[in-house]
Amino acid sequence: MKKIHSLWFILSIMCIGCSKNDDGDPDPIEPEPIANTVKLATNASFGKILTDSDGATLYFFSKDTKATSECSGGCLGVWPIFYTEKITVDVGLELSDFATITRVDGSKQTTYKGWPLYYYSEDGTVGDTKGDSFNNIWFVAKPDYSLMYVQSQLVGHDGKNYLDDYSEGDGNTFYLTDIEGRTLYIFINDTKDTNSFTNNDFSNDAVWPVAEISMENVPSILERTDFGSIDVYGKTQITYKGWPLYYFGQDTERGDNKGISFPAPGIWPIANTDTPLAPEPQPVENSIKLADNATFGKILTDSNGATLYFFSRDTQDTSVCLGGCLDVWPIFYAEDLTLDAGLEEMDFATIDRTDGSKQTTYKGWPLYYYSSDTAAGDTNGDAFNNVWYVAKPDYSLMYARAQLIGHDGKNYLEDYSEGEGLTSYLTDDNGNTLYIFINDTKDMNSYTNPDFSNNSVWPIAEIDLESIPSILDVGDFGSIEVYGRTQITYKGWPLYYFGQDSLRGDNKGVSFPAAGVWPIANVNTSLAQ
């Protein structure tokens, strides 16, 4: 028993300083926890920041765009490097974000997400952050930066050095990168919150990819409110001061800024705090507008309000205004057609002219300007030589002028004798020729059978009359009922089509069954009796 007591006494002496448990027996002393070499501290001004194991704040040097240190010599007297051989991190940090580089002076330095880490020599106590924004290039190291504000030499894709005004020269420029050091650009043709570059199928996204960045925190020199985002065909593109931000596809290495000279300097600038606000997008002017004219009502104009015209000698999608005619009547062409409300896209098309140029058409009629119209809204060309008319969307008829060519292939004049010469006559708005029947009388159709069994040869013209060219008098038109259908009349004459006029501009009916039996109708047509 004495031996047991003696052993207990010895053990008790050995355990001097040990704590006692509930039974009065001593507990072994717990070792102090070992602090991680990089800690995640909470700072009143900056939120989560990186510190060393003693709580000293760590910093990024934003000139270190290429994951190497640009701080050397006397710089290190103010900004000592941070290095720990064995990296251990607090919860909330990823060990994979840390690495070690060998500096050009042979020493080693710890990096975070590619940014070398430093101390600031003027930070005297734990939690000091006096070095933040120093010369706008030193920033407290935070784990949740979305962007970095850097300063570096601009080196274009052409290998030339550029200054911030995109002239050639040596000197550092401030600009935005993402947190991985990839340069961010704006496009000078964009407007506020509007990406005007990216195709809807992203076929050009490899050249200038949209910057998709989840915004959290930014360096203190930047205003978080200057950033936003827009939807670009289902992708979310970050914006700065209203400018959509892009990467450059040829920036393959961290720190590259080659895009500043592609395709020419200044077209894709970098973005920095001196970047002006993006301009407000201008209202999109439709390439063809529907204007209200005091004389003609609704007329077609270009985006600047210049009146457009029809040439009534034109046939289906074919312009016969060539050579010197175009000096007086320049063609209208819009590559990207945008229309006012009230106009239908299906009514417009583009034709290839015989001179190799392109021209926009409306309902098959090529569109022109008149050279003597000097101000928006001028309509000086209307009724010029009785073949040029203001382009209106609601014409029911057109007054054409063309060579009469019968179903027999012969050319005819207005008196239905054979010969070459132009004749004026009525067509519908689609250019289909209208005829009268010499055996009809005033407001009386003497041709059409009650069962319309002969209507395919000479179909009655059923037209809702709205607007007509100015050479015509609306009082000359009327309508009659023909076995339950409504046929339009002109000067009392019922109007017909010819079933064999299969193409726009055909006027074959002038010789069927004989020349003059089914004349065209024009302003010289006498009143029906």
Cα distance between residue 246 and residue 212, in whole Å: 9
Q: Is the peptide bond before 209 cis (omega within 30 degrees of 0)?
A: no
201 shares its domain with 329: no
Cα distance between residue 166 and residue 261, in whole Å: 8
Band of residue 23 on the pLDDT scale cut at 50, 70, 90? low
218 shares its domain with 264: yes
Reported as a single tens digit per residue, the pLDDT across 311-342 is 999 977 789 999 999 999 999 999 888 999 99
**Considering the chain, what percentage of its residues have pLDDT values greater than 70?**
93
278 shares its domain with 152: yes
- pLDDT of 33 reads 65
Band of residue 3 on the pLDDT scale cut at 50, 70, 90? very low
Q: How many CA atoms lie within 13 A of 294 on its CB side?
A: 3
44 shares its domain with 138: yes
Q: How many domains does the chain have?
A: 5
183 shares its domain with 255: yes
Q: Is the pTM of this model over 0.85?
A: no
- Phi/psi at 14 (5° precision): -65, -25
Reported as a single tens digit per residue, the pLDDT across 466-512 is 999 999 999 999 999 999 999 999 999 999 999 999 998 899 999 99
Reported as a single tens digit per residue, the pLDDT across 398-407 is 999 999 999 9
Q: What is the mean pLDDT of residues 1-16?
A: 38
Radius of gyration of the chain (CA): 42
Sheet holding 411-412, edge to edge: 411-412, 397-405, 422-428
Domain final residue, candidates 144, 170, 186: 144
380 shares its domain with 431: no
Residue 475 per-residue DSSP state? G
Mean pLDDT for all residues in the chain: 92
Cα distance between residue 169 and residue 154, in whole Å: 9
- Phi/psi at 17 (5° precision): 95, -10
83 shares its domain with 128: yes
> Can you give the residue range of the structural domain that contains 335?
288-394
- pLDDT of 35 reads 83
Report whether pLDDT(18) > 50: no
Residue scoring higher pLDDT (26 or 373) = 373
User: DSSP states of 181-238 as a string?
Assistant: --B-B--TT-BTTB--S--TT-TTTTTS-B------B--TTS-GGGEEEEEETTEEEE
Long-range contacts of 250-253 (CB under 8 A, 24+ apart): 250/157, 251/182, 251/183, 253/66
522 shares its domain with 435: yes
* CB 383 within 8 Å of CB 469: yes
Domain final residue, candidates 144, 174, 203: 144
Q: For residue 314, how many other CB atoms are within 10 A of its CB?
A: 26
**Considering the chain, what percentage of its residues have pLDDT values greater than 90?**
88
Residue 226 tokens read as 């200057």
Residue scoring higher pLDDT (32 or 211) = 211
**Measured in Å, how far apart are the chain's first and last C-alpha atoms?**
153
311 shares its domain with 385: yes
Domain final residue, candidates 354, 376, 394: 394
422 shares its domain with 518: yes
409 shares its domain with 518: yes
Report whether pLDDT(172) > 90: yes
Q: What is the mean pLDDT of residues 516-527?
A: 97
- pLDDT of 286 reads 80
Cβ neighbours for 371, distance < 8 A, ≥ 6 positions apart: 327, 328, 329, 330
Report whether pLDDT(16) > 50: no
Report whether pLDDT(117) > 50: yes
- pLDDT of 30 reads 57
Q: What is the mean pLDDT of residues 107-126?
A: 97
Cα distance between residue 368 and residue 321, in whole Å: 10
132 shares its domain with 177: no
Q: What is the mean pLDDT of residues 388-416?
A: 96
Band of residue 25 on the pLDDT scale cut at 50, 70, 90? low
